[in-house]
Chains A and B, each alone.
Chain A
Amino acid sequence: MTEGLGIGLLSLVIWVPILVGVLILITGGDENAEGQRTLALLGSVLGFAVAIPLWTGFDTGTAAMQFEELARWVPMFKINYHLGVDGISMPLILLNSFTTILVVLAGWEVIKERAGQYMAAFLIQSGLINGVFASLDGILFYVFFEAMLIPLYLIIGMWGGPNRVYAAIKFFLYTLLGSLLMLVSLLYLFFQSGGSFDILTWHKMPLAMTAQILLFIAFFFGFAVKVPMWPVHTWLPDAHVEAPTGGSVVLAAITLKVGAYGFLRFAMPITPDASHYLAGFMVTLSLIAVVYIGLVALVQSDMKKLIAYSSIAHMGFVTLGFFIFNQLGMEGGLIQMISHGFISAAMFLCVGIMYDRVHSRQIADYGGVANRMPMFAAFFMLFAMANAGLPGTSGFVGEFMVILATVKVNFWWAFLAATTLIFGAAYTLWMYKRVVFGAVGNAHVDEMRDINGREFLVLTLLAVCVLGMGLYPLPLTEVMHASVDNLLVHLSHSKLVP
C-alpha cells in the first residue's frame, strides 16, 4: 500500500484519460479537429496501455484489494483518496478503457461539429468511470459516480438525435434521483461506523435488520436505475435512441455495469441479511426484465430501441445471477456483464454504421443490406448471434452459467430465464432478417457502401473479443474466482447484531 507516495497505477488509469481530455479542450475549436482526433486516439490507447498492467500484474490467488492507493483527501470529513481493485472491478476497468478506444474510432469521421469537445467528453468520462470502479471510499465513489453523468449528459444533448434534450434531461434526473438517496445512506453509514467512509470497513460493520432493509432500498434506487431494472428502466430506451452512436455504446457497455457493480460492492456486502431477505423481490424484477422486456423488444420498429430493450433483458440476467447467491450464478452474472459490454457495443456500432449511411434507425427503412454491404453483414451476423446467445460466442457463456445456477435453486425461475434463449433469438434474428436479407429495399439502401478500414478495425476488435470470450472464458473466471468466493462467504454470514 502506498501512502501518499508517487502516483499509482490506478491513479494513472483514472487521470490519464481525463488530462488528455482537458488537453483536447484547450486546443480550441474545430479548426484543429484532425489533431484533436489524433490526440484523442493517442489518449485512449495510452489509457488502455496503462490499464494493461492491472491484468498482467494481478494476483488471482487473493480476494484482497490490489494496487491499493491511500491518501488523505478531505481529512475534515474523513474522506480518503482510497483506490484498489479486486477480481470484480479489474475486468470492468479494462472493458471501459478498451471501449473508449472503440468509441473514439467510431466517432472519427461521423462527428463533424465540435469534434474536439466530443472526444474530450468521452475521454473524461472514461477516466471518471474508471474512478467509479476503483474507489474504495464511499464519497470518492459518489463523486465519480455523479461526475460521470455530466459528460454523458452533454454527449446526449449535444450530438444526439431530434429528441435529445428530453432524453438528456430525463437521463440525468432519473439517475440523480437514485444517487441522491444513496448519498443519504452513505452519510448514515458514516455515522453508524463511527466516522468512516471506508467501504471495506462498512462491509464488516454489523447492522440491525431495519437499517439494512432501508439501506438496501436506498442502494436499490441508486443502482437499479443505472442497471436498469424493471420498472425503473424507462430512461434507457429514450437515452439510447437519442444518443449518438458513441454515447449509446458507452451507455450500454459501461454505465449499465456501474449499477450492477454497485450491487456487488455496496448493497450486497453491506446489507447481506437484507439482500437475502429481499432476494425474491430482486429475482422477480430480474425475471420480469428477462421475459417481459424481451417481449417488448420483439415489437420495436426502431433498431436502437430494440437493442436498448435487449440490453435491459440481458442485464436482468446479471442481477438474477447475483441474487441466487452461488458461485456459478455470480460468476455467470459477471461474465454476462463483460460479454454484454462487447456485444451491445458491437450492436450499437453496427446500427451506427448503417445510420451514418442512411440516417434512419427504422427497421422498415432497410432491407437487403447484405447485397450492398456483404462484409458488414457478416460482422453483424456474428454479433446478432452473440446477442441471441449462440454457443461459441461470449453471449452464451454468461447466460448458460446463470441458467445452470438458477436450476439448482428453483427450476421454474430457470425455466423463465431460459425463455430468453427463444425471445433473444427471436427479436435479434428477426430484426437481422428484415434489415439485412431480402431484396434491396429502397434507393437509400442501394447507395450504401461497405465498411471502410476504420470500421473494419473496430468490428474486428470486437469480434475477436466476443469469440475469444465465448471459446475460452477461463482466464476471466480465474481472475474473478477468488473475489467472488470471498464475497459469497461474506454474504453467508449474518451481520445482525447478536
Chain B
Amino acid sequence: MNFTFSDLIPALPEIFVLIMACAILLIDVISKQRMWSYTLTLLTLAGAAAITLFSATGAPQYAFGGQFVDDMMADVLKMMTYLSGIAVLVYSRVYLLERGLFKGEYFVLLLFAILGMMVMISANHFLVLYVGLELLSLSLYALVAMRRDNAQATEAAMKYFILGALASGLLLYGMSILYGLTGTLELNKMAATVYMGVQNPMLLSFGLVFLVAGLGFKLGVAPFHMWVPDVYQGAPSAVTLFIGSAPKLAAFAFTMRILVDGLQPAVAEWQGMLAVMAVLSLAIGNLAAIMQTNIKRMLAYSTISHMGFLLLGILSGTFAGYAVSMFYAIVYVLMSLGTFGLVVYLSQNGLEAENLDDFKGLNSRQPWLAALMGMLMFSMAGIPPFVGFYAKLSVLQALVGAGWLWLALVAVLFSLIGAYYYLRVVKILYFDAPAVDAPTITGQADSHALLSLNGLAVLLLGLAPQGLIALCVYAMQMSIQ
C-alpha cells in the first residue's frame, strides 16, 4: 500500500482535532486559567467545522487505501457533531464551574470523544470503525466517572464500562466471522463479496446477529438498552447532555456503514432483526418512561424509543428510508440538546434539576424557558408544527412506501403512548404551581441565548423543514452507490 501525503487530506479535520486535543492537554498543564482550555476547545470545534466545510467536495474521497472515506453523509454528520459539541460546552460551563468539574480533563475527553465519533462516521473498514468506537466509548466511560466521589456516577460508569466492553466483544466476534466468510474487512469489498453470494449463508446470519447485537448496545435500543437509564441518570447532567447528543449521530453512521455500506446485499437478513429491536424499543421506551419521576431517566427511556424509531427508517431498506433516518437522527440530537441543555441550565444555585417536580410551575417563574421546554416536549412527542413531527412523518412515509404498513401502525400507537409522558412534562411546567422553596434562577447570557436559538430552531425547522430534509437526501445520494 503506497502512502502519499494527499491521502491525508480527507482526514484533515480528524488530524486537526487530534493535534488540538493533545495541545490542549499540554496547555492545561501549564496554564492555571481553565477558560483558556474552554475557549481553545470551542475554537478547535469551530476550526474543524471550517476545515470540513472547505474540504467538502461532494463525491466520496477515500484515504489510507480505502479504509477511510470522506463523503457527504460524513460531512453533514460531522458538522452536526461539532455543533452539538459547541452547544454542550456552552450549556455546561456554569454547571461544571459550580461543581468544580470545570477541569482540563473534561475538555480533552470531550475532544477525544468527538474525534472517535468523527472516525466512526468516516470509517470504511471494520477495524477503523472499531478504533473510532473504542476511542469514543473509553472517553465516555471516563466522562461519566468524572464526579468520582459520587456513588451513582461511579456505578453508572462501571455499568457502562462492563456492558460496553461486552458489546465491543460481540461486535468484534461478529466482525471476525464476517472476515472469515468474505476475506475482507473493507466495507465496500465486503458488500461486493456478499452480493456475489457467500458459501455459507448460515454463517453470514450468525455473524450478523453478533454485529446487530453490538450495534444495538451502542445505539441503546431494546433489548440491549439496560445501561441507558442508569448512565443517563448517574452521569453528571453536563455529561448526560453530551452522551444524549452527538454519539447518536455517530451510532447512526456506524449502523449505516456496517449494515448499508457493508451488508446491503444481506438486507433481508438484518431487516427482521431491526424490526424486532425497533418494536421492542418503542414498547419498552415508551411504557417505561411513563413511570419515571426523574427527568433524566425519563428522557433516557424516551431516547430508547427514539432510537427505535430511527431503526424503523433504516430497516425500510430503501434509499428514502436511510435519508429520513439521517434526518431523524439530526432532529433528535437537536431536541435532545435543547432538553438536556435546559436540565443543565436549571441545575444551578445548589439545585440538581433532576426530578420532574423541580420543573413545577416553571411558566410562572420563567415563561420563556417553560415555553422552550414545552416546544421541545411537543416536538419530541411528534406534534406539529414542530420539527419532531416531520421526523416521525418522514420515517412513517418511508415505512409505508416500503410496504411496512403494520410497522407504521405499531409506531403510531406507541407514539400515542409516548405523547402521554411528554404531555405530563408540559403539565408540570404549565399547570402546577411552583414549589415554595424553589431557588431563584440566575440568568446565564451565553447559555440562555443558545438555548433560545435551539428551541426556536425546533419551531422554525418545523415551519420550514425543506432545507434540512433536502440536505439529508442530497447527502445520501452523494454517499450511497
Contacts and interface: CB of A to CB of B under 8 A. Distances in A.
Nearest to B473: A76
B408 A184 contact: yes
A74 B412 contact: no
A184 B431 contact: no
Contact of A187 (B378, B384, B397, B469): B397
Contacts of B84: none
How many residues of B sit at the interface, in one of the four size bands?
35 or more
Contacts of B378: 150
Nearest to B420: A173
B408 A176 contact: no
Contacts of A29: 367
Interface string A132-172: 00000001001100110110011001100000110011001
B430 A157 contact: yes
A165 B427 CA distance: 7
B419 A147 contact: no
A176 B383 CA distance: 9
B453 interface: no
A183 interface: yes
A74 B431 contact: no
Contacts of B473: 76
B181 interface: no
A173 B418 CA distance: 10
Interface string A267-283: 00000000000000000
Nearest to B368: A25
B430 A75 contact: no
B396 A187 contact: yes
A150 B470 CA distance: 28
A191 B412 contact: no
Nearest to B396: A187
Interface in B442-466: 465-466
A187 B400 contact: yes
A173 to B, nearest CB: 6
B23 interface: no
A181 interface: yes
Nearest to B409: A184
A176 B473 CA distance: 29
Interface in B408-430: 408-409, 412-413, 415-416, 419-420, 423-424, 426-427, 430
Given A142-B384, A150-B378, A172-B419, A158 B430 contact: yes
A456 interface: no
B412 A76 contact: no
A180 B423 contact: no
B413 A147 contact: no
A77 interface: yes
A76 B397 CA distance: 12
Contacts of B397: 77, 187, 190
How many residues of A sit at the interface, in one of the four size bands?
35 or more
A472 interface: no
A331 to B, nearest CB: 33
A168 B427 contact: yes
B466 A74 contact: yes
A188 interface: yes
Nearest to A74: B466
A157 B427 contact: yes
A334 B378 CA distance: 33
Residue of A29, A143, A146 most packed against chain B (CB within 10 A) = A143
A19 to B, nearest CB: 13
Contacts of B430: 154, 157-158
A191 B384 contact: no
Interface in B17-31: none
Contacts of B420: 169, 173
A146 B384 contact: yes
Overall SS of chain A's interface:
helix
A188 B412 contact: no
Contact of B412 (A153, A157, A183): A183
Contacts of A142: 384
Given A76-B470, A165-B427, A168-B427, A183 B400 contact: no
Contacts, number: 90
A139 B470 CA distance: 18
A231 to B, nearest CB: 19
B466 A180 contact: no
B405 interface: yes
A188 B399 CA distance: 10
Contacts of B408: 184, 187
Overall SS of chain B's interface:
helix
Interface string A112-126: 001001000000000
B469 A177 contact: no
Nearest to A172: B423
A176 B400 contact: no
B423 A173 contact: yes
Interface string B320-351: 00000000000000000000000000000000
Interface in B359-388: 363-364, 367, 371, 378, 383-385
A430 interface: no
Given A143-B385, A158-B431, A191-B401, A177 B416 contact: yes
A4 to B, nearest CB: 14
A73 interface: yes
Given A77-B469, A143-B389, A187-B408, A169 B384 contact: no
B419 A176 contact: yes
Interface string A31-75: 000000000000000000000000000000000000000000111
A187 B430 CA distance: 34
Interface string A1-44: 00000000000000000000000010001000000000000000
B449 to A, nearest CB: 17
B393 interface: yes
A188 B419 contact: no
Given A29-B367, A169-B427, A183-B412, A150 B383 contact: yes
Contacts of B419: 172-173, 176
A183 B389 CA distance: 11
Contacts of A188: 400, 405
Nearest to B367: A29
Nearest to B465: A74
A219 B390 CA distance: 21
Given A158-B431, A172-B419, A180-B416, A75 B405 contact: no
A243 to B, nearest CB: 13
Contacts of B394: 77
B416 A191 contact: no
A88 B409 CA distance: 32
Given A169-B420, A172-B423, A176-B419, A146 B470 contact: no
A191 B400 contact: yes
Contacts of A191: 400-401
Nearest to B390: A74
A75 B409 CA distance: 25
Contacts of A180: 412-413, 415-416
Contacts of B426: 153-154, 157
Contacts of A157: 426-427, 430-431
Nearest to A164: B431
A258 to B, nearest CB: 15
Q: Which 5 A-B pairs have the closest CB atoms?
A: A143-B384, A157-B431, A187-B400, A180-B412, A76-B469
18 contacts: A75-B466, A76-B469, A77-B469, A117-B363, A142-B384, A149-B383, A153-B423, A154-B426, A165-B427, A168-B427, A169-B427, A173-B419, A180-B412, A180-B413, A184-B396, A188-B400, A190-B397, A191-B401
Interface of B: 363-364, 367, 371, 378, 383-385, 389-390, 393-394, 396-397, 400-401, 405, 408-409, 412-413, 415-416, 419-420, 423-424, 426-427, 430-431, 465-466, 469-470, 473
Given A25-B371, A75-B466, A180-B415, 4 more contacts: A114-B363, A154-B430, A187-B393, A187-B396
Interface of A: 25, 29, 73-77, 114, 117, 139, 142-143, 146-147, 149-150, 153-154, 157-158, 164-165, 168-169, 172-173, 176-177, 180-181, 183-184, 187-188, 190-191
